[in-house]
Amino acid sequence: MTHAMLKGSNVPLDAAAVRAVLCWTPGPGVPDVDASALLLGGDGRVRSDEDFVFYNQPRHPSGLVRRLSKKRVPEGLTDTVEADLAALDASVDQVVVAASSDGDTFDRVRDLRILLYDAGASAAEPLAVFEVKPETGEETAIICGELYRRGEGWKFRAVGQGYPTGLIGLATAFGISVDEADGPDGADGPDGASSTNGAVGTGQAAQTGGDAAAGDTDRQAAPVVTASAEAPTTAVPAPPTAPPAPATPPVPAAPPVPAPAYGYPQGGAAQPAYGYPQPASAQPAYGYPQPAAAAAPAPDPNFRLPPMGPQFVRR
């Protein structure tokens, strides 16, 4: 019987090993999707970077959690994570199954769902199905579900929690050391074609060999181009500045000329007071003797007045 799960619901598992299959419908403008898994301890964080299983590290060192190759099925494309729950170390409290999109957000991914199968059974019917819906439309990574211990057994919970920071943000949220200088990695497509995704470092060299038993194909890290250090700049001396010109002393203002008192002698440029002797250049006052410069030309020194009285002329 298949359980159609809602977000936040859980279902107990009787299977010793499970296969979590991500499935979506490809098409024009639909980004590729990659499955990944994180093995968490009791504190909700990875014990080391080796607890991150993804396209550059498709197999956990214990071999109990592994990522299988993508497949094309009638329903669309699939990417699968398989986990042997019964054999996992007791320090592993959860196995988180996540999906990351390549080149766009999950609102462009159609019909995304996770199907949980019993890996030890040949039945084609899944144990549980959860339709994964992005909440904001900005998610580039989503926790689809989690396998967690409950007493002596395991349960599966439908999560659907998204991250707008992609696979890097998802990894760092659980304690993975991320080396962003690694650059984008080549991704395996359904036909072995290469695509790109966010770069995630795991603190160790990425495995280049796939899971030979499952036919897994790894993404190969692309070469990184590191910007060279900036060349030192040569200081250019500033041109010499001319000495400032000496300040011009201010010209003192002429003292104000007081208005003359009425009736007193005035200066040469002032209006003469009425009735007083005037300077030579000024207009003479009325009725006073005029200066010599203002009189008629000097008389002829040989001029003589005729004698007064009758004049007699000798004949």
Per-residue model confidence as pLDDT tens digits over 147-183? 999 988 999 999 999 999 999 999 999 999 877 554 4
Q: What dihedral do alpha carbons 263, 265, 270, 274 form, nearest 10°?
A: 40
Q: Span 241-249, mean pLDDT?
A: 61
Rounded distance, CA 93 to CA 58, Å? 20
Task: State which amino acid sits at residue 223.
Answer: P
- Give per-residue pLDDT as tens, 55-99: 999 999 999 999 999 999 988 999 999 999 999 999 999 999 999
For the segment 101-128, what is each residue's pLDDT rounded down to a tens digit?
Answer: 998 999 999 999 999 999 988 767 899 9
Comparison of pLDDT for 23 and 194, the residue scoring more: 23
Q: Average per-residue pLDDT in the chain?
A: 74
Work out the average pLDDT over 5-30.
Answer: 94
DSSP 12-80: EE--SEEEEEEEEE--TTPPEEEEEEEEE-TTSSBSSGGGEEBTTB-B-TTSSEEEPPPEEETTEEEEE
Reported confidence tier of residue 253, pLDDT bands at 50, 70, 90: low
Q: How far apart are CA 54 and CA 99, in angstroms?
A: 10
- What residues contact 144, with CB distance under 8 A and at least 6 apart? 20, 22, 97, 98, 99, 114, 130, 132, 158, 159, 160
pLDDT at res. 178 = 78
| Token pair of 107 as six digits | 């609102």
- Cα(80)–Cα(69) distance, integer angstroms: 7
Q: Binning pLDDT at 50, 70 and 90, where does residue 195 land?
A: very low
Task: Give 11's pLDDT tier (boundaries 50, 70, 90).
Answer: very high
What confidence score (pLDDT) does residue 193 get? 36
Mean pLDDT value across residues 14-37: 94
Distance CA 165, CA 143 (A): 13
Quick check: pTM over 0.75? no
**Helix or strand holding residue 169 (H, E):** helix 166-173
Mean pLDDT of 198-226: 37
Single-letter amino acid, residue 51: D
Query: Strand 65-67 relative to strand 71-73: parallel, antiparallel, unpaired?
Result: unpaired
- Whether pLDDT at 293 is above 60: no
pLDDT at 22 over 60: yes
